[in-house]
Structure 1
Amino acid sequence: MPVINRIAAFAEDMTEWRRYLHQHPELGQQCQKTASFVVERLRDFGVDEIHEGIAISGVVAIITGRDYVDGDGPTIGLRADMDALPISETTGADWASKTPGKMHACGHDGHTTMLLGAARYLAETRNFKGRIALIFQPAEETGGGAELMVEEGMLETFAIKEVYALHNLPKLPVGQFLTTPGPIMAEVDSFHVDIKGEGGHGAYPQDTRDPIPAALSIAQAMGTIVSRNNRTLDDLVVSVTMIHAGTADNVISEDAYLGGTVRTFDKTVKAMVMKRMTEIVAGHAAAFNVEATLRYDEGFPATINSPDQTAFAVEVAREVAAEGIVVPDAPREMGAEDFAYFLEKTPGSYLFVGNGASAGLHQPNYDFDDATAPYGASFFARIAERALPLGGN
């Protein structure tokens, strides 16, 4: 059996933890109750240090290896995100969210559980030399969690040499893994266009400067940036995801708004997108006789796996993967992940672990598969034991 036997033995406890967390989702940096649950478990496990209030509600716990003395071996970081999403759950599960309008629709309850499972095992066995830093991070979904942890100096404070993270992946069989060296997740930016015209009666459009046709035309033109301005071999997504205008069927609105997301890997491509958006918005404002302003907000950087640490993580994953199946060179994804901020400062790797035939991420009927947790916990535990072997230099 690829899962570590001791971890398999307390799999039911992990299911209980995960379902409790699923019932009590929290958003952004306000994960205080989740953090309290994590801290309570960590104290039960007997970890050596617990540091709370990092990036507002984050937690870092330290487990020292066998016969550890100060400076005896490096520190390896293992990270799980804790926050949920502002989505109303439709699973109907007995453990469904008890907070209306909030749910764990991305499996961060499972990620937290996997790291707690590894913490329990590592605190019991301590079959490693050095220190493990367990990083429970808030605000991955809304941004700010990893970046704030880095800004607060967490990596330096705990002298973290390498850092690893897992994310569940629907449709990949439970317990299988995939990753790739180099870029694995895209840089993510957002754009916002505010349009101001002159409103009036819906029966007399000639007396108005209608912002809605301008908004629709700008949205269509944004789509041509990918199809007509970008080299087809360069990865790029431009998605208009919001258009807001109007209050009644017989009133032409004075204002309109549209916004969306941009995903890139290349700074030159991103610069081209910003230039074309500026030109499109200015041109359409003139054409439709309205005022239009563009705001372009830069978000997470691309998540770039370190080649050596990724090769090591693949070896470890093969030891615990279901049927030993690991994809080491998966295509990079256009989603984004703020774990990128850790990888900008410290070598490490980000991997996906299969969540089986669940609904997709960020869907209201999504649920983490509890059978996945022992695989993730075993992976984290084996990273510690393999990276910091007893008897190693």
Structure 2
Amino acid sequence: MLSTNLQSWLEENLSELVEIRRGIHANPELGFEEERTSQIVAAKMRSWGIETSTGLGVTGVVGTIHGKGPSGRRIGLRADLDALPIFETTGLPYASTIPGKMHACGHDGHTAMLLGAAGYLAAHNDFAGTAHFIFQPAEESLNGAKRMIKDGLFDKYPCESIFGLHNTAGMPVGQFAICEGAMMAAADIWEVTFRGKGGHGGLSPHLSTDITYAQAHFVLGLQGIVGRTIAPLDTAVISVGYISGGNTESWNVVPSELVMKGTVRSFSAEVRQSIQDRMERLATLTADSWGCSAEFKFGRGPGAIINQPAETKAAIAAAEAVVGPASVNRNLRATTGSEDFADMMALKPGAFMRLGNGVAEDGSFHAPHTPEYNFNDDIIPLGIKYWIKLVEQELVA
């Protein structure tokens, strides 16, 4: 049961939190550039008397609230701050004022929800232990979680458990979803540069070492890695996202260099390493078979989100306290999307919860990372209540 104090607090403060969210939406900032957003978060927490630190992970913010009760238990709650390099086309009154930048994943809403929870708990800290409110920069591809960790996040703000929350477009408002174990995939980036002897493609192609052959056979071979070297029940994805070689004005020339890039998604350390090793071998041998060379690079991105049993149980209990058991999906299907909160979870046991952002009656919705996506302000109270309940149930004397 959620307290009448919370309902009263929301009635007094919700409109301001929506205004803060829309202000952040109108002024999006990319990874490690979230100066304005961080200042807003820090100033608001300090106005509530919350112990607040800035600059961790360049533009990260951490607020700390100590409960009244005698307990040494400490937990971390995390939201993300950054926007995406996308041109917004929503036409909303509070749409992005910065061309080419947009809050297209709901991080503005995540920030508002966690900020609201911090505001309430600062005034109603009838719990035992310590809650750290972690506002992380650069979730979108720049590994902000790793940067905060490198800057001493868990040394300065020790946590026994950590929790994350993300909106989900296409899931009805009022629903939460999670699963124990693997929930989101590791996301890695690969690059191969093929080099050979170029030549005249019309006059003397036989005198070249045609790297386009190597590239074509490499692409075909990639799917063989998934289909014939990874166990059928181990999910993996290898995709090519970029190919560049030659010059559009020199269409009759066999190029001497060609670059390919793409992504790899997996759920286990063993599969991740196996794919890396086999991709490198495939690139090298394919290049050699066509008389050219290959330079292979593999960049490790965020690991897989692996929800731990105890923290998953705690997250489910908090969500059920907010919306009831019937509106909490405990067996969410895993996705090959990624989240760099995984890098924090690699060090501390945690759970990552999903919250429905809404869906139209005809089943349509605007997906994240698209120009028409918009965070649904109606779910801000649900997120706030979830965070508060999680703190109250986890930090007991």
TM-score (norm 1): 0.91
Cα deviation code 1:172-204 (max 9, x no counterpart): 111311111222221221110011233445543
Structure 1 runs of 4+ with >6 Å offset: none
How far off its partner does 1:210 sit?
A: 3.7
- In structure 2, the residue matched to 1:156 is 155
How far off its partner does 1:169 sit?
A: 0.8
Check conservation: 2:18, 2:377, Cα contact below 8 A. Answer: yes
Letter in structure 2 aligned against 1:168: N
- In structure 2, the residue matched to 1:302 is 304
Letter in structure 2 aligned against 1:124: A
Letter in structure 2 aligned against 1:174: V
Secondary structure of 2:131's counterpart equals strand
- In structure 2, the residue matched to 1:120 is 119
Secondary structure of 1:147's counterpart equals helix
For 1:123 and 1:134, how far apart are their aligned partners in 2?
11
Question: Of 367, 371, 375, which aligns to 1:364?
Answer: 371
Cα RMSD (Å): 2.2
How far off its partner does 1:85 sit?
A: 1.4
For 2:299 and 2:177, how far apart are their aligned partners in 1?
31
- In structure 2, the residue matched to 1:36 is 39
TM-score (norm 2): 0.90
How far off its partner does 1:324 sit?
A: 4.7
- In structure 1, the residue matched to 2:86 is 87
- In structure 2, the residue matched to 1:168 is 167
For 1:268 and 1:160, how far apart are their aligned partners in 2?
28
Over 3 Å counting, the alpha-carbon distance change for 1:220 and 1:96 in structure 2 is farther
Cα deviation code 1:218-252 (max 9, x no counterpart): 22221222223222111111111111223224343
- In structure 1, the residue matched to 2:384 is 377
- In structure 2, the residue matched to 1:23 is 26
Instruction: Kindly indicate whether residue 230 of structure 2 is the aligned counterpart of residue 230 of structure 1.
Output: yes
For 2:141 and 2:160, how far apart are their aligned partners in 1?
27
Over 3 Å counting, the alpha-carbon distance change for 1:8 and 1:277 in structure 2 is same
Check conservation: 1:193, 1:259, Cα contact below 8 A. Answer: yes
For 2:308 and 2:338, how far apart are their aligned partners in 1?
17
Check conservation: 2:242, 2:262, Cα contact below 8 A. Answer: yes
- In structure 1, the residue matched to 2:291 is 289
Check conservation: 1:7, 1:117, Cα contact below 8 A. Answer: no
How far off its partner does 1:383 sit?
A: 0.9
Equivalenced residue count is 386
Q: Which moved more, 1:294-303 or 1:202-211?
A: 202-211
Letter in structure 2 aligned against 1:59: V
Letter in structure 2 aligned against 1:20: G
**Structure 2: which 5+ residue stretches go unaligned?**
360-364
Q: Write the mapping of 1:240-251 to structure 2, written as runs, cut at 5 A.
A: 240-251=240-251
**Structure 1: which 5+ residue stretches go unaligned?**
none
For 1:343 and 1:197, how far apart are their aligned partners in 2?
43
For 2:49 and 2:326, how far apart are their aligned partners in 1?
32
Over 3 Å counting, the alpha-carbon distance change for 1:312 and 1:322 in structure 2 is closer
Check conservation: 2:211, 2:292, Cα contact below 8 A. Answer: yes
How far off its partner does 1:80 sit?
A: 0.3
Check conservation: 2:268, 2:304, Cα contact below 8 A. Answer: no
How far off its partner does 1:14 sit?
A: 2.0
Letter in structure 2 aligned against 1:328: R
How far off its partner does 1:286 sit?
A: 2.5
How far off its partner does 1:291 sit?
A: 2.1
Secondary structure of 2:190's counterpart equals strand
Secondary structure of 2:358's counterpart equals coil
Letter in structure 2 aligned against 1:197: G
